[in-house]
Chains A and B, each alone.
Chain A
Amino acid sequence: MEFWKDEKEPISAFVKLFENSMKDEELMGGLKKVNQLIWFDYTQDGPNCSFWVDCRGGDVKVGAGKPDGDPDLTMSLSADDAHRSWSNKLNPVMAITRKKIKVKGSATGLLKLAPKLKKVAVIYENTLKEMGMEDKILK
């Protein structure tokens, strides 16, 4: 991995990113509309390198690892590309076209969040600072 020292590091950052995003009213509202169980699968970088976001039932929860139930949507990519993506430095359409991101399941809910990626990137940068990971911030 180019940006991470081990498989735990990215997951801790991404889970924290979602916890911080959920404090933002607009993003929380957007996540609720997704109404899916999503598994972000980075296991190509380690068997435990993944996390889930459960947006079903009018609430949003996030956790490390594979979710208990079958995900409605699985997004498989590398932890490095995930870092680029949350930093808004990766064109998700292009990444999907070039098979850098593989998607299984319905992504229509995620389309609702795509316009918010810029805002997510700001929160991600603050999250990295909060976690003492300033060196990972992409300029």
Chain B
Amino acid sequence: MNGNTGKIITVQLTSGDLVIAELPEEYYQKYIGGSGLAARYFWEHADFDADPLSPEAMLIFMNGPFSGLKLSGASRNCIAGRSPLTGIWGDSSCGGYFAPELRYAGYDGIVIAGRAEKPSLIFIEDERVSIVDAAEYWGKGIEEVNRSLKEKHGKDYRTVLIGPAGEAGVKYANIINEGHHAFGRTGFGAVMGSKNLKGIVIHASKKEMKLADPKRYEELRKELNSKIKEALASTVLHENGTAANLEGGVYNGDVPIKNWTSNFWEEMADALTGGTLTDTYLTRTAACAYCGVACKRVVEVKEGPFAIPEGPGPEYETIVSFGSLLGSMDLAACCKAGRVCNDIGIDTITAGGTIAWAMEAWERGDLTEEDTDGVSLDWGDMATVIDVVLPKIARREGKLGTLLSEGSRSAADAIGKNSRAYTVQSKGLEAPMHDPRGGGHGLALTYAMSARGACHVADPMLFMEMGACFYPEIGFEYELEPMTDEYKPETAVISIQIGALENSACFCQFADREVTIPEWVELFNTVAGYGWDQDDMMRAGRRVFYLKRLLNYRLGCTAQDDDLTPRMLEPARDGEPEGVEINFSGMKEKFYQLMQMDPEKGIPVKTVLEEFDMGDEAKVIW
């Protein structure tokens, strides 16, 4: 097999069995890698009745075909399985340094099931895999454990770890690579915790890769790395990070404020934007493996209530989640909140979204002191959020910690009072920090169609609506007006295919914006030797989208779950999108038609599955 290794490690923690399994090449050709390949494995091997936090639940780490190939943006890894937060299919992508190391060790993925008797680590050194005791690390923060492991084994030993939140079963606990790159979404840190698995340590001593056409790949790699690094978007990301255009987003009405009750806050725009972070707290930049963009921030807050020593800084999502979303424009607080979340191991988006919902519930009187253990949840009170609320969530402590550790949808259902109406989530996953009412109505559609729930990186609709994509070879060469539904279903059909490719190839959306469709095809062919044409590649993307729909159907989802909450669809109250309504139902109906999906079941009809070589899957469902 070229490109991929064809091998995965299967770990049964209950019995301690470790088996190296081989995956058929057909799976790679049909489902690519990353979240697509993980979905195929889950389809075949998962117990669909298993609670996500039970020993029977399966946790899958999966690389894409370009991992370790020294291509900017292609060092991401995917984690997947059934999400404890949403109860349906979940996947989450992480940059950093884990994916290349796994590939160099000789594996495409790791599948973990069972429950270890005591706290454990999976230790991988080249082909050798073992399960080792981790009692000394249990209960400790990720920063400390990461440092200890590197001191013990060496800095080139790469780590993926959970924090106290994962151990405690917080439904949106994350998994962190190298102390700060996050598998953020859908709560797989809790799944690891439920398995008594503190983390994985991995080291590979060789970097041998077998490619279909190494000479041409090397030429292509150099061309792409140069193009990606020199792109305007890359230089902006490098200089001011992923929050570089936060200020522009505020003026468009894209940046959520106070639990999505406002779309404009002028003073906040300058206070939280990436340029301000650069001017105030940035000490240097950092990068994922082999990436020339280097958009990561390293920051230090020297003084004040939110002082933190030099270390990883916040991304855009964290800045807004712990900034404007909570009614704060204190950038130092964002830096500290991000650092705390990384250490305790929780997703900053769901944490911010859940706390924002709680603050509104507090303001409305739907949450009282009795529910919050006497803690006041006032907009903008970041000291309380950081010093009181986050630690309570991490330990599931008291009524407040327990309530908020479940995520906003479950918390709203627990207190009732119609408070689900002002949650901001789809399928139970809190929306990221882009409000479709200002960011673009197509985003409302793709949030709802995303298999894992509201997600801006399931596909590039956000970029397509702002004009940052150009794919004339597949029909996307027209201009979109963000705040209308015009051409959005048609665009979503293209977007979900591209998104499936990105997330299956584990390619960063910031870097791969520069990659044209012919270059994508050539990448697959020079690396894996599939002999694909453009149509083959796009069909694989659509196949992955369809497969995740089928998985969700088997996990209880239907068309009615492809929805957004009333808060997300109500006309904006101010800012650029004030008063504009989103034609969500119209876009959804049209998208369903274009994708040939059953309007009740929410899955592709049998004939289209057969058309996409998914006859076996069709037999299970239809």
Q: Which residues of A contact B (CB under 8 A)?
A: 91, 93-98, 103, 106-108, 111-112, 114-115
Contact = CB atoms under 8 A, between A and B. Distances in A.
Given A108-B275, A111-B247, A94 B240 contact: no
A107 B240 CA distance: 11
A91 B236 CA distance: 18
Contacts of B325: none
B248 A114 contact: yes
Contact of A106 (B235, B466, B468): B235
Given A107-B235, A108-B239, A108-B240, A115 B469 contact: no
Interface string B445-470: 00000000000000000000011111
Contacts of B235: 106-108
Nearest to B472: A98
Contacts of B239: 106, 108
A95 B468 CA distance: 9
Given A91-B467, A94-B467, A97-B467, A111 B245 contact: yes
Contacts of A107: 232, 235-236
A94 B468 CA distance: 6
B486 interface: no
B265 to A, nearest CB: 13
Contacts of A97: 467-470
Given A98-B470, A111-B236, 11 more contacts: A91-B467, A91-B479, A97-B470, A106-B236, A106-B239, A107-B236, A108-B244, A114-B245, A115-B247, A115-B250, A115-B269
Contacts of B247: 111-112, 115
Interface in B211-252: 232, 235-236, 239-240, 244-245, 247-248, 250-252
| Closest A-B pairs by Cβ, 3 of them | A94-B467, A115-B251, A93-B467
A114 B269 CA distance: 13
A61 B275 CA distance: 23
B479 A111 contact: no
Give the residue among A93, A108, A114 with the most B Cβ atoms within 10 A.
A108
16 contacts: A91-B466, A91-B479, A94-B468, A94-B470, A97-B467, A97-B470, A98-B470, A106-B239, A107-B236, A111-B240, A111-B245, A111-B247, A111-B275, A112-B247, A112-B275, A114-B245
Give the residue among B232, B235, B236, B248 with the most A Cβ atoms within 10 A.
B232
Interface residues of B, number: 20
Contacts of B252: 115
Nearest to A93: B467
Nearest to A92: B467
Interface string B261-286: 00000000100000100000000000
B228 to A, nearest CB: 14
A97 B463 CA distance: 11
A112 B248 CA distance: 7
A14 B3 CA distance: 53
Contacts of A94: 466-468, 470, 479
Contacts of B469: 97
B441 to A, nearest CB: 16
Contacts of A96: 232
Give the residue among A103, A107, A111 with the most B Cβ atoms within 10 A.
A111
B280 to A, nearest CB: 14
B236 A93 contact: no
A112 B236 CA distance: 12
A114 B232 CA distance: 15
B236 A108 contact: yes
Nearest to B477: A98
A111 B235 CA distance: 12
A111 B244 contact: yes
Given A108-B239, A111-B247, A112-B247, A103 B467 contact: no
Nearest to B235: A106
A114 B254 CA distance: 14
Contacts of A115: 247-248, 250-252, 269
B586 to A, nearest CB: 24
A57 B240 CA distance: 21
A58 B265 CA distance: 26
A63 B554 CA distance: 66
A98 to B, nearest CB: 5
A129 B456 CA distance: 43
A107 B236 CA distance: 7
B269 A103 contact: no
A113 to B, nearest CB: 10
B132 to A, nearest CB: 46
Nearest to B232: A103
A115 B252 CA distance: 8
A37 B277 CA distance: 23
A119 to B, nearest CB: 10
Contacts of B232: 96, 103, 107
B246 to A, nearest CB: 10
Contacts of A112: 247, 275
A63 to B, nearest CB: 25
